Structure 1
Amino acid sequence: MCWSFSQVVGNTQVELSLKMLKAGKHVIQEKPASESTTEAETALSVYNSFPSQFPYKPIWALAENYRFEPAFVESRKLMNDIGDMMNIQVIVEGSMNSSNPYFNSSWRRNFVGGFILDMGVHFIAGLRMLVGSEIATVSSISRHVDKALPPPDNICSLFQLENGCAGVFVFAVNSRSPKILWRVDGTKGTVQIERGIDSGKHGYQVLFSSENAQCQKTFYPFCGVNEELKAFVHDILQANKDGGHKAEPRSSYVEGARDVAVLEAMLESSAKQGALVQVKKL
């Protein structure tokens, strides 16, 4: 059996997930994984302490569709052809205003970080999926400009990956000109993923520029939600047959907690006037 919690449960979902897992039920939980890394660490400790009273270990999955979007899956493969990474840009100009159905969600406004945390985990998940290297340190400045939104509503961060490459993460929760893109420049080429519309379908335009100046463009319609649910159902069926089945790693609760850790470090850095902060390892 499985349970899936929607976003309406918000900051109570970790507690509910653990109750279902303890009862032997497989769980797919909405993002963000937690309100903080402290909550995530405590939850993982509880989950790992459950006695082996079932023929299988209940699966704890996180519904992060960005890790299942074909645009990111295929772009990760293209990264092998751009040589050494030189710099990274993540630009997010969102459209979270009163016309958005999530705008008035009370629980989103109770998070430390508000929409920066709630929305931001998607963009961090996309970044980590694309570059294949963990974010080690951040230095950030955030501000609260739009008073209709919970603070902060925009953040600018310089980050460095464990492989040494640096990049910028710029996120405005509400903008007059919405735009979302990830761009990695390498010694032999460039990969860029940009959200857009093609032939009436919403999705991502992937641009790959090689060292011979050729540009390859491919559009991938959204289907990450369907793919993550397919993976979860597959894992349930396999786990019920084989107690040693390893669940899809892209769905793991730990991956979602690591997205939270990056944003938590960015918010901590901003509270310290841009001081360098190490991202907590989970």
Structure 2
Amino acid sequence: MSSVLAAVKEKPASSNVSEALKALSVYASIKGSNAIGPMWAVAENYRFEPGLIEAARLVKEEIGEMMNVQVIAEAPMNSANPYFSTAWRQAFYGGFTMDMGVHYIAALRMVAGCDINKLAALSRHIDKTLPPPDNISVLFELKNGCNGVLIISMSASSRKMIWRVVGSEGTVQVERGIQDGYHGYLVTFYPSGKSERSSFYPFSGVQEELTVFAKDIANISFKGMQASEADVRSSPEEGARDVAVIEAILKSSFDNGAWVQVDCIP
């Protein structure tokens, strides 16, 4: 029997790309040739949500050629929100846009099944109780050549989260909502020329990611699995890729919408 040193960190993986790369380098040097650990996992529950996983499957298998992607995230962040008063979230470069934005990017990357290549963003700062910026509009290009738009509003009075992927043979939409008293995601597939199909998936991402984390530890400790074989959805590299997109958004918005290449995380 072997033992493994394991740690799970709340997202985001870091406050910027430079910090992420340094941390990944240190992590690699600590692991060295030690196959059983340590294991570093980043808590990103969106990658474990059944609704988003099903949407990713539909996009991959059912929609044909991807034509465009649309994401809307209206997330009221005010004094009534329990996360509003946490100082470390306020202190991030980009504030809540970085802290919460990595969730939207994690879902976008997973549902689209593709990373973002480059982007251009414009921003505004409306609610002065929030760190800037609190409203962002983004035009992005995926690495598969498909274009998309992303709208984030931290100072909206309403709440709405939608990921929509339009393809040549159908469209997949994921929308956060409530059904039968449960919060979750309504996944709707609009096939070309056929009736739409919808299914509701209650939130369970947090439970799923913790279950997978515990299973990985058990497999490393008792079944000889290597730490490098742990579930990639919790890997610090995946978390860092989300951070890289948000940092590119912030850079572009502070440069009046200039196109910015998203940093590549190996």
Q: TM-score, normalised by structure 1?
A: 0.89
Asked if 1:72 is matched to 2:52, the reply is: yes
Q: Distance in 1 between matches of 2:31 and 2:206?
A: 32
Q: CA deviation at 1:174?
A: 2.2
Return the alpha-carbon distance in structure 1 between the equivalents of residues 134 and 35 of structure 2.
Answer: 46
Alignment of 1:168 with 2:135, yes or no, is no
Which residue of structure 2 lines up, in the alignment, with residue 30 of structure 1? Answer: 10
Per-residue deviation, residues 72-105 of structure 1 (Å, max 9, x unmatched): 1111111120011111100011111111111111
Match of 1:56 in 2: 36
Question: What is the letter of the counterpart of residue 261 of structure 1?
Answer: A
Report sequence identity in percent: 52
Matches of 2:121 and 2:78 in 1, distance apart? Answer: 24
Alpha-carbon spacing, 1:212–1:55, altered in 2? closer, same or farther (3 Å): closer
SS of residue paired to 2:159: strand
> Cα distance 1:237–1:24, how it changes in 2: closer, same or farther (>3 A)?
closer
Measure the CA separation in 2 of the matches of 1:24 and 1:263.
32
- 2:218 corresponds in structure 1 to 237
Q: Helix, strand or coil for the counterpart of 1:136?
A: strand
Alignment partners' CA distance in 2, 1:89 and 1:240: 42
2:126 is equivalent to residue 145 of structure 1: yes
Residue type of the alignment partner of 2:226: G
Q: Deviations over 1:212-232 (max 9, x none)?
A: 231001000000000000100
1:211 equivalent to 2:192? Answer yes
What displacement does 1:53 show?
Answer: 7.5
Q: Which residue matches 2:63?
A: 82
Amino acid at match of 2:148: G
Question: Residue 39 of structure 1 aligns with which residue?
Answer: 19
Does residue 221 of the first structure (1) align with residue 202 of the second (2)? yes
Q: Which moved more, 1:208-217 or 1:242-251?
A: 242-251
Does residue 247 of the first structure (1) align with residue 207 of the second (2)?
A: no
Measured on the aligned residues, the alpha-carbon RMSD in Å equals 1.4
Which residue of structure 2 lines up, in the alignment, with residue 16 of structure 1? Answer: none
C-alpha offsets along residues 3-34 of structure 1, whole Å, 9 cap, x if unaligned?
Answer: xxxxxxxxxxxxxxxxxxxx962011100000
* 1:263 alignment counterpart: 246
Distance 2:156 2:102 in 1: 18
Name the CA distance, whole Å, in 2 between partners of 1:183 and 1:88: 6
State TM-score, norm by structure 2: 0.95
Output the CA distance in 2 between the equivalents of 1:140 and 1:55. 42
- Structure 1 residues without counterparts, runs of 5 or longer: 1-22
What letter matches 2:120 in structure 1?
S
Q: Is the 8 A contact 1:142 1:156 kept in 2?
A: yes
Q: Which has the higher contact order (CA 8 A, sep 6+)?
A: 2
Q: Deviations over 1:103-148 (max 9, x none)?
A: 1111111111000000000000000010111100010001101111
CA 1:136 to 1:55, structure 2 compared with 1: closer, same or farther past 3 Å?
closer
Deviation at 1:239, TM superposition (A): 1.0
Q: Which runs of 4+ in 1 moved over 3 A?
A: 51-55
Partner of 1:181: 162
SS in structure 1 at match of 2:156: strand
Contact conserved, 1:24 with 1:54, CA < 8 A, in 2? no
Contact 1:66 1:125 in 2 (8 A): yes
Distance 1:172 1:51, change over 3 A: closer
Residue segments in structure 2 that go unaligned for 5+ positions in a row: none
Count of residue correspondences? 260
